[in-house]
Amino acid sequence: MTDLSVQFTGVTKTYPHFTLSDVDLKLPTGSIMGFVGANGAGKSTTIRILMGLVHQDRGAVEVLGHAMPSQQAAAKRDIGFVSEDMRLYGPATLAWHMEFIRSIYPQWDALYAQDLLRRFDLKPAQKIKGLSHGQRVKAALLLALARRPRLLVLDEPTTGLDPVARCEVLGELMAVLADEERTIFFSSQNTLDVEQISDQITFIDRGRIIDSADKEIFLDRWRRLRLVLPPDTTLPRLPGIVQVGGSSRLPVLTISRFDPAMVAACQEAGASVQAVDSMTLEEIFIVNVQSRREGAIA
């Protein structure tokens, strides 16, 4: 039985204009899960429930072995949280924040903090209100990382960062995983980042989890088949066709459960297979959402 850092079972939360329904999540210790969804899909709500900042209406949430939100104080001792809408205290300096955090968490690693200051190019004496958006995000990440928490929960950690800063942050996140007892959960609209560093990927749309699997399984299962259909030939019937694009003579099939035998099946049906393309995570996500909204997917 794998050790789970985070477990959601049937979590539901109802708001006047939005409902998070029946969310199930399993995050094994030592892995990193990327949480992908459009704006308003429920990423932030899910993360807030994870942190115990919002109380779910139904369902169980367990984080690092603690029930949330009732045991949130104990859980948060080992969780580092950075969210895009989170602000630090403007009139205070970064050094003040570092000292404040250090006084609360005994696991603060001062040497690592100095290292991060250098790598993130931040000046401790600078007041938070004088920092740019990117610098503020890096400052908040520093405060979370230097404590070496067992679980990192990040809501859009690379949004708004310049490419160099993004690279730095991704590097630091991966360095966290060098310790197989530490886990990361992050939401992102940047599918490239998610595709690169995630072990597991979960898609959310309109308050529902629409897919969750190992990254390699996602990338293996989805394919685009480019066919040439001779006249008077019908499209072969294949399971898991999510979208049909292209033209009637040159159809492009998007398949969610690809099997190499399908290529032979197409050829037997009279179509010639021009190409079997793999898809990027972004393409998979978009097709997944579009087809669900149109009610097509199996």
Q: Which stretch binds another protein (CB under 8 A): 24-32, 118-126, 235-243, 263-271?
A: 24-32
Token pair of 3 as six digits: 């050790």
Q: Which stretch binds another protein (CB under 8 A): 91-99, 110-118, 251-259, 289-297?
A: 91-99
Contact code string over 37-76 relative to another protein, x by CB under 8 A: -----------x--xxxxx-x-----------x--xxx-x
Q: Does 25 bind another protein (CB under 8 A)?
A: no
Q: State which residue, 229 or 258, has the beta carbon closest to another protein.
A: 258
Give yes or no for a contact between 256 and 222, defined as CB atoms under 8 angstroms apart: yes
* CB contact set of 115 (below 8 Å; sequence gap of 6+): none
113, amino acid identity: A
Sheet of strand 208-214: strand arrangement: 79-83, 151-155, 183-188, 32-37, 200-205, 208-214
- Cα(71)–Cα(65) distance, integer angstroms: 10
Tell the smallest beta-carbon distance from residue 174 to another protein (Å).
5
- Cα(228)–Cα(248) distance, integer angstroms: 9
Q: Figure out which of the listed residues 174, 250, 264, 275 binds another protein, where binding follows CB under 8 A.
A: 174
Which residue is it, tokens 């595709």?
Answer: 195
Q: Does 119 bind another protein (CB under 8 A)?
A: no
Q: State which residue, 86 or 110, has the beta carbon closest to another protein.
A: 86
- Cα(222)–Cα(275) distance, integer angstroms: 14
**Residues of this chain that bind another protein (CB under 8 A):** 30-32, 48, 51-55, 57, 69, 72-74, 76-77, 79, 81, 83, 85-92, 96, 100, 103-105, 140, 167, 170-171, 174-175, 177-178, 180, 192, 196-200, 214-216, 219, 278
